[in-house]
Amino acid sequence: MVEFKPNHLVRVKREQMFAFTMLSLAAALTVLILLAIVFYVMAQGLSVISMEFLLEEPRKMGTEGGIFPAIVGTVYLVGLIILIAAPIGVGTSIYLNEYMPDGRFKSVLRFATELLAAIPSIIHGMFGFLFFVIALGDYTGGWSILSGALTGVVMILPIIIRASEEALRSVPSNLKEGSLALGTTRWYTIKKVVLPLALPGITTSVILAIGRVIGETAAFLLTIGGSLLMAASVFDGARTLALHLYLVAMETGNVQMAFGTGAVLIVLILIINFAAAALFKLLVKRFSA
């Protein structure tokens, strides 16, 4: 017979209340940290942002003038990386999911993808520096947007592969089997049934990969050259917004101008996050109807 102790109940209740308060405080702290960073950077950055800041070339190492070449560099880089990485990444995930039988080689490929994702971006940068900048320098232009982009492709591939695999896996197998039972080829089924249904997930993964590229610095620090000048082609050196922020903050110590670039970056990331969510909803509605 268990003795009924009213005090015990009170204590247990109090314990629960204390624990729940602590847990919600942890969540509140996380949100607060985010808000602190976002608002501080925006408040500091907005004071230097103007049309001139966005559309002019930097003067005196970026302590005066604008960030236009860095914007152009970022756009070039993102475009090139997605152009190369998205087809390869989606292709890989299709092969792994739809063609390849389970087995040792498949798990080796998966493990390689995971390890590639775990490699710190500075090591990607070192590799890109040796391989794309130096070894292939005659073809890539040495420190250039192209070298940076190829390095970025290696870095971003596992992210796209993993996310589109998830999207492909979410396609119900009875739809696939139904299509195959009608006598279509596997590729036809993939084109007409699997890809349209997986499209929302794949698109979101690509957009989030864009966000990752915009935020990345270490991999490009050693490969893209950091030139302040406007890039005329992908064989020229350039800098991205994130790299510009870093170089301005660390080399000139002009924190105010760095905050300006930081505010632009935060706005971009916000737009990308919203776009990913909105596009996902839109595509789901369109293709699942």
Partner 1 sequence: MKFQKERNNKNNIEEAIVKVILFIMALSSIISLGLITFFVFNEGLPFMIGYGITDFIFGTTWNPTEQVYGIFPMIVGSVIVTIFAILVGAPIGIAVAVYLVEIAPPRVTKIVKPAILLLEGIPSVVIGLFGMVVIIDVIRRLARGPLADYLPAGYQTGYSILAGVLILAIMILPTIISISADSIRAVPKEYKEASLAMGSTKWQTLFKVVVPAAKSGILAAVILGVGRAIGETMAIIMVIGNSVQLPIPGWEAVFAPVRTLTGNIALEMGYAGPEHRQALFATGIILFLFIIIINSITLLLRRRGT
Number of CB atoms found within 10 A of residue 129's CB: 18
- CA quadruple 245, 247, 250, 252: dihedral positive or negative? negative
Q: Tally DSSP H helices, then E strands, for the chain.
A: 13, 2
Q: How many residues does the chain have?
A: 289
Alpha carbons 92 and 241: distance in angstroms, whole number: 30
Residue 131 touches partner 1, criterion: CB under 8 A: yes
For 188, list phi and psi in degrees, rounded to 5: -60, -45
User: Per rule CB under 8 A, is residue 55 in the interface with partner 1?
Assistant: no
Residue 115 binding partner 1, by CB under 8 A: yes
Residue placing its CB nearer to partner 1 in the complex, 228 or 265 = 265
Q: How far apart, in whole angstroms, are the C-alpha atoms of residue 147 and residue 151?
A: 6
Ramachandran assignment for 141, one of left (phi > 0), alpha (psi -120 to 50 degrees), beta (any other): left
As measured in angstroms, the least distance from the Cβ of 52 to partner 1 is: 22
| Position 271 contacts partner 1 (CB under 8 A) | no
Span near partner 1 by CB under 8 A; candidates 49-57, 67-75, 180-188, 231-239: 180-188
Token pair 């390095």 is found at: 151
Residue 75 near partner 1 by CB under 8 A: no
Binder to partner 1 among 10, 123, 181, 282 (CB under 8 A)?
A: 123
Matching residue, tokens 């080689």: 105
Q: Determine, following the binding rule CB under 8 A, whether residue 242 of this chain makes contact with partner 1.
A: yes
The answer to whether the beta carbons of residues 71 and 54 sit under 8 Å apart is yes
Tokens for 40?
A: 């501080």
Residue among 3, 6, 31, 138 that touches partner 1 (CB under 8 A): 31
Smallest separation, CB 241 to partner 1 (Å):
8
Q: Is 266 in the site for partner 1 (CB under 8 A)?
A: yes
Size of the site for partner 1 (CB under 8 A): 87
> Contact, 138 vs 73, CB < 8 A?
no
By CB under 8 A, is residue 127 in contact with partner 1? yes
Helix (H), strand (E) at residue 64:
strand 64-65
Q: Is 26 near partner 1 (CB under 8 A)? A: yes
Choices 67-75, 103-111, 166-174, 280-288 (CB under 8 A): range interacting with partner 1: 103-111
CB of residue 289 to partner 1, shortest distance in Å: 25
* 10 in contact with partner 1 (CB under 8 A): no
**Contact (CB, 8 A) for 176 and 202:** no
- 171 contacts partner 1 (rule: CB under 8 A): no
- Asked if 157 touches partner 1 (CB under 8 A), the answer is yes
Residue 30, interface with partner 1 (CB under 8 A)? yes
C-beta of residue 101 within 8 angstroms of C-beta of residue 173:
no
Is 122 near partner 1 (CB under 8 A)? yes
Rule CB under 8 A: say whether 161 interacts with partner 1. Answer: yes
- Window of 151-159, 164-172, 195-203, 279-287 that interacts with partner 1 by CB under 8 A: 151-159
275 contacts partner 1 (rule: CB under 8 A): no
Q: How many CB atoms lie within 10 A of CB 17?
A: 10
